Structure 1
Amino acid sequence: MKIKYLLLIATICVAISSCKILSPKEYRSLVAQRDSLSTRTGNLEEELSRLQNDTSRLHRKIADLNSQIADLRSNNSTLNSNLDATASKANQLAADLRKREARLKEVEEILKKRDEATNALKNKLQQALLGFQANGLTVDIRNGKVYVSLTDKLLFPSGSIVIDDKGKEALKQLAAVLNKEPDINMAVEGHTDDKKVKNLGQIKDNWDLSVLRATSVTRYLTEVEMIDPHRLTATGKGEFQPIDASNTDEARTKNRRIEIVLTPKLDELYNLITK
């Protein structure tokens, strides 16, 4: 409105200063010009107000966008940090996996060698003891170990702990193979059936019988066949690890036995495990 009044005053001043009496036509022309200027001025004022509002709105939007950009940069920094940490962890896990795979390969190679050695030993023993297999001697592999099982009738007279000649011959053949295999440890295990021991003098029960028979075999192998005693252990299992749990005479015959358990030395494997 101020602009309108100023234009009107300017128009009047121009008319007065000219000291010229206007004709009605000229007057109407001046008034028309004034009205046109007033209209255009009003439009400009409206446009100015609209532009001011738009400018304020755009400033607010730009501020919001700048805030969003700052948040995104902060989130991106956090994401990059997390990404770097995750990548570092993944690289560490990959390195650990490579080490474990290499270690696994070493262990597998050693176990493969052990199994090959165990199978070769089994074959040697089967050939050396072929003549005794009909009399209750068996050779088999269990859990990476060679088991030479000899029934009590092959080694001892009934109820005795003294090895007979037939038993000594079998042990001699066995020792001939084992003396050539210095990397094999041996455990001599005595086993009985579940019948109670009666009238055997110093032998009080099946524990005694199993232990004394195991030590008799161990003594013969070390003192007569000259196997290094550091390689042997003797244990008695009594009646508590039967081959056949049936309550029959045939099962009891199987259960009365000496088992010589042959284990390859696993120093190389032990060293790997304890690294």
Structure 2
Amino acid sequence: MKMYKLIPLVFFSIILIAGCVSNKKYAELQTTYAQLRERNQELSNKYQDSQRELTGANSRVKSLEEQITSERANVTALQDALNKCLSSSNQGNVNISKLVDEINSSNKYIKQLVNAKNKSDSLNMVLTNNLTRSLSREELGDVDVQVLKGVVYISLSDNMLYKSGSYEISDKSGETLSKIAKIIKDYENYDVLIEGNTDNIPIAQTNIRNNWDLSALRASSVVQTLQNKYAVDPKRLTAGGRGEFNPIADNSTPAGKAKNRRTQIIITPKLDQFMELIGKAPEQAPK
């Protein structure tokens, strides 16, 4: 009789234990879901930011690609005109010779444009490989190097570069900046934009009005360090701040805020070199 009375109690205990296990599993699933959701948001933001960067970078080579297309069309037109000249007994040898010269000139210009674009892409890959190889494993944790459409992006973490809550360069950043400076000096035909970024927490210092000020001051500190300490030509440097308005992660989490507090060193071929090249286009054939 006593054993019969114990059966409901044992059964009830089993139900309670099963319920505890289910609740724990449910909590683990909730945590995993939250982490995956946060990671998905970060990847989505990074993808969108990369798309914006790609769009901006494409504008640098757009003129070259348009010129290449235009010159190829011009070659086709010149070839058609030459064929007509050859098929017509009324055309003189002088006109034929002139068309041949124009075709050769256009073909040479197309090759020049293509070589310029390929050279730029190749140099950027070499630049990136040289920089990545020079960084230690510890430095690579604070430095992210990417090449997007012919532009090299070096992203430096806030904790590595600056003293806490300040725009002053920290002592521990010196070795990393020296390696970046050497790369910049080795590739003297490239311009360098230093771009500061913050999270969305308002700054609370009397001498800094807002995150625009903070991001610009931090970029300026890096520029002046590269110039004064590592002898980078200041004519090649530009400092800019984007405040909190260029995030790559969700500002609702500490990890996301940390990713957004960064400084980017953007290395690009000098635009005037491309413009000069485009300006050397051969004259169009007379109509």
Q: TM-score, normalised by structure 1?
A: 0.61
Distance across 1 between alignment mates of 2:132 and 2:216 = 26
> Which amino acid in 1 is paired with 2:130?
K
Q: Mind listing any 5+ residue stretches in structure 1 that lack a counterpart? A: 1-83
Choose the corresponding residue for 1:164, options 162, 170, 179: 170
Shift of 1:168: 1.9
Choose the corresponding residue for 1:110, options 107, 111, 116: 116
Distance across 1 between alignment mates of 2:131 and 2:238 = 20
Mapped pair 1:136 → 2:145: no
Q: Mind listing any 5+ residue stretches in structure 2 that lack a counterpart? A: 1-80, 86-95, 281-287
Choose the corresponding residue for 1:217, options 200, 219, 222: 222
Mapped pair 1:238 → 2:240: no
CA change 1:273–1:131 in 2 (3 A) is same
Name the larger-Rg structure: 1
- The answer to whether the 8 Å contact 2:128/2:145 transfers is yes
> Which amino acid in 1 is paired with 2:164?
S
Shift of 1:93: 11
CA change 1:99–1:126 in 2 (3 A) is same
Distance across 1 between alignment mates of 2:107 and 2:136 = 42
Q: Write the deviation string for residues 53-95 of structure 1: whole angstroms up to 9, x where unpaired.
A: xxxxxxxxxxxxxxxxxxxxxxxxxxxxxxx9xx58xx99999
Correspondences of 1:58-97 after superposition (within 5 Å): none
Choose the corresponding residue for 2:260, options 255, 258, 267: 255
- The answer to whether the 8 Å contact 2:199/2:258 transfers is yes
Shift of 1:120: 0.5
Shift of 1:270: 2.0
Shift of 1:204: 1.1
Correspondences of 1:170-209 after superposition (within 5 Å): 170-197=176-203, 199-209=204-214
User: Paired residue for 1:228?
Assistant: 233
User: Paired residue for 2:53?
Assistant: none
User: Paired residue for 2:161?
Assistant: 155
- The answer to whether the 8 Å contact 1:175/1:221 transfers is yes
Shift of 1:158: 2.5
Q: Write the deviation string for residues 9-66 of structure 1: whole angstroms up to 9, x where unpaired.
A: xxxxxxxxxxxxxxxxxxxxxxxxxxxxxxxxxxxxxxxxxxxxxxxxxxxxxxxxxx
Shift of 1:122: 0.5
User: Paired residue for 1:16?
Assistant: none
Matched residue count: 189
Distance across 2 between alignment mates of 1:246 and 1:192 = 10
Report which structure shows greater RCO (CA 8 Å, sep ≥6): 2
Shift of 1:188: 0.6
Distance across 2 between alignment mates of 1:163 and 1:184 = 24
Q: TM-score, normalised by structure 2?
A: 0.59
User: Paired residue for 1:146?
Assistant: 152
Determine what percentage of the aligned residue pairs are the same residue: 36
Task: Find the residue that maps to 2:192 and give its secondary structure.
Answer: strand
Correspondences of 1:8-87 after superposition (within 5 Å): none
